[in-house]
Amino acid sequence: MKCKLDLNVEITVTPEEQRAINWVETVINRAAEAEELPPVEVSVTIVDNEQIHHMNKEYRKVDRPTDVLSFPLWEPDEEWVIEEEEERVPLGDIVISLPKAREQAREYGHSIEREVGFLAVHGFLHLLGYDHETKEEEEEMFAKQEAILNLVGLHR
């Protein structure tokens, strides 16, 4: 099932970074298919470290930049109601720091495409209520992320 994405790019990017951003729709669509979701809508915004630092401080009370933030529009125990056949369920917003993705790709020794794809899937799964607060939750979430990234060819 295809997701409708509202993809906003707010910073200047290199061609390599643009190729990485182009993976966002692919990995989120694959994640939606893997989760067998009805049609959904997700907004993805690419920002710099200053912007995500501000958001992290404002919304999570954490005074530092982070790599990805998710803002779900529903609670995990809520039931989705789709009234019309063409209507999409609005899942929420994902914000990704491109500079942080760049830094982490270098640190982990893989491509920027893989890191941006990872952050998009990670943020998407958070919108669905997945978390990594416990070891069991982390294992489940990270296994799903890796499976989705492997399906689209974004290997470590």
**Of 83, 110, 112, 95, which is closest to residue 11 (Cα–Cα)?**
95
Residue ranges of the annotated binding site are: 122, 126, 132
Nearest to 112 by CA among 100, 102, 97: 102
- Both tokens assigned to 96: 């990704």
Task: Label the pairing between strands 68-72 and 4-9.
Answer: unpaired
Q: Which residues are annotated as a binding site for Zn(2+)?
A: 122, 126, 132
Burial call 56-71: b when 16+ CB within 10 Å, e when fewer = beeeeeeeebbbbbbe
3-state secondary structure of 61: coil
Beta bridge partners of 47: 97
